[in-house]
Chain A
Amino acid sequence: MKVLELKGVSKSYRLRRFWGRGAELTVLREIDLTLHRNEVLGLVGESGCGKSTLARLALALERPDRGEMRFLGEPFWELPGRRRKSLRPGLQAVFQDPAASLNPRHKIEALITEPLRLQGVPRTEARERAAEMCRLVGLPEEVLSCFPHQLSGGQRQRVALARALIPEPAVVVLDEPTSALDVSVQAQILNLLVDLQKRFGMSYLFISHDLPVVLYLSHRVAVMYLGEIVELGPREVFFSGPLHPYTEALLAAIPGEGRSVKPLRGDPPSLLRRPPGCVFHPRCPEAGALCHREKPPLREISPGHLVACHKR
Chain B
Amino acid sequence: MEGGPLLRIENLVLGLKGRSYPLVGPVSLAVDRGEIFGLVGESGCGKSLTGLACLGLFPPAVTPLSGRVLIGGDDLLALSENERRFFRGRRVALVFQEPLSALNPVLTVGHQVEEVLRLHRGLSGTAAREETLRLFSEVGLPDPETRLRNYPHELSGGMRQRVMIAMALAGNPDLLVADEPTTALDVTVQAQILALLLELRKRRGLAVLFISHDLTVIREVADRVAVMYAGEIVELAPRESLFAHPSHPYTRALLEAFPRLGVRQLRALPGQVPPPGHWPAGCRFAPRCPEKVPACEKEHPAMKALSAEHAVRCLRR
Nearest residue in B to A239 (C-beta to C-beta)?
B262
- Cβ of B42 within 8 Å of any chain A Cβ, yes or no, is yes
B156 adjacent to chain A (CB < 8 Å): yes
Taking CB as reference atom, which chain A residue is nearest B266?
A: A187
Residues of A within 8 A of B220 (CB): 255-256
Q: Are B257 and A254 in contact (CB under 8 A)?
A: no
Inter-chain contact B216/A254, CB cutoff 8 Å: yes
Q: Is A143 an interface residue (CB 8 A)?
A: no
B183 to chain A, nearest CB (A): 10
Docked Cα-Cα span, A283 to B315, in Å, equals: 52
Q: Are B261 and A267 closer than 8 Å at their CB atoms? A: no
Q: Which residues of B contact A267 (CB under 8 A)?
A: 156-159, 189
Chain B residue contacts of A152, Cβ below 8 A = 272
Q: Is the CB of B186 within 8 A of A46?
A: yes
Is A304's beta carbon under 8 Å from chain B?
no
Q: A182-B42, A255-B194 are in contact. Are A250 and B187 (CB under 8 A)?
A: yes
Contacts of A216 in B (CB 8 A): 259, 263-264, 266
Q: Please state if A211 and B267 are interface contacts (CB–CB under 8 Å).
A: no
Interface string of A33-49 (1 = CB under 8 A from B): 00000000000001100
CB distance from B54 to the nearest CB of A (A): 23
Residues of B within 8 A of A201 (CB): none
Q: How large is the interface on A (under 10, 10 to 19, 20 to 34, 35 or more residues)?
A: 35 or more
Do B191 and A263 have beta carbons less than 8 Å apart? yes
CA distance A253 to B188 in the complex (A): 5
B243: nearest chain-A partner, CB-CB: A256
What A residues does B194 contact at CB under 8 A?
255
Nearest-CB residue, chain B, relative to A267: B156
In the assembled complex, the CB of A235 is this many whole angstroms from the nearest CB of chain B, namely: 10
B182: nearest residue on chain A (CB-CB)? A255
Contact B195 A263 (CB under 8 A): yes
Cβ–Cβ < 8 Å partners of B305 in chain A: none
User: What CA separation (Å) do A182 and B157 show in the bound complex?
Assistant: 23
Contact A182 to B187, CB < 8 A, known contacts A255-B216, A257-B261: no
Contact pick for A255, options B142, B159, B190, B267, CB 8 Å: B190
Instruction: Assess A253 versus B266: contact at CB under 8 Å? Given A183-B213, A184-B42, A186-B257.
Output: no
Task: Give B118-145 interface residues, CB cut-off 8 Å to A.
Answer: 142
Instruction: Given A152-B272, A263-B192, answer yes or no on A255-B217 (Cβ-Cβ < 8 Å).
Output: yes
Closest to B155 in A: A267
A173 to chain B, nearest CB (A): 20
CB of B214 closer than 8 Å to a CB of A = yes
A134 at interface by CB-CB < 8 Å: no
Q: How far is the CB of A286 from chain B (nearest CB, A)?
A: 16
- Decide: B268 and A211 in contact? CB cutoff 8 A: no
Q: Contacts A182-B43, A191-B268, A263-B192: A268 and B186 contacting too (C-beta < 8 A)?
A: yes
B192 to A: closest C-beta gap in Å: 5
Cα–Cα, bound, A152→B260 (Å): 25
Q: How far is the CB of A301 from chain B (nearest CB, A)?
A: 21
Interface assignment of B253: CB less than 8 Å from any CB of chain A: yes
Q: How far is the CA of A154 from the CA of B269 in the complex (A)?
A: 12
Give the residue of A183, A191, A263 whose beta carbon is less than 8 angstroms from that of B258: A183
Contact check: which of A183, A187, A254, A266 meets B187 at CB < 8 Å? A254
B260 touches A264 (CB 8 A): no
Q: How far is the CA of A191 from the CA of B156 in the complex (A)?
A: 34
B140 CB → nearest A CB, Å: 10
Interchain CB contact under 8 A, A211 and B187: yes
Q: Is the CB of A184 within 8 A of B257?
A: yes
Measured in the bound complex, the distance between the Cα atoms of B269 and A263 in whole Å is 33
Q: Mark A170-213, 1 if CB is under 8 A from B, else 0.
A: 00000000000011111110110000000000000000011111
Contact B186 A209 (CB under 8 A): yes
Among candidates B190, B262, B269, B270, residue contacting A253 with C-beta atoms closer than 8 Å: B190
Query: Is the CB–CB distance between A264 and B191 below 8 Å?
Result: yes
Tell me if B254 counts as interface (CB < 8 A to partner A): yes
B111 on interface, CB distance cutoff 8 Å: no
* Set A47, A182, A191, A252: member contacting B266, Cβ < 8 A: A191
Q: Does B215 contact A (CB under 8 A)?
A: yes
Name the one of A47, A191, A252 contacting B186, with C-beta atoms under 8 angstroms.
A47
Any B CB within 8 A of the CB of A287: no
A248-282 vs B, Cβ < 8 Å mask (1 yes, 0 no): 01111111110000011011100000000000000
Of the A-B pairs whose beta carbons lie under 8 Å apart in the complex, a sample of 14, sorted by A's number, is: A46-B187, A154-B272, A185-B272, A187-B258, A187-B267, A187-B268, A209-B186, A215-B259, A216-B259, A253-B188, A255-B216, A256-B217, A263-B191, A268-B188
Task: Report the 10 A-B pairs with minimum CB-CB distance, sorted nearest first.
Answer: A256-B216, A187-B257, A263-B191, A256-B219, A46-B186, A187-B268, A182-B42, A188-B268, A253-B191, A267-B156
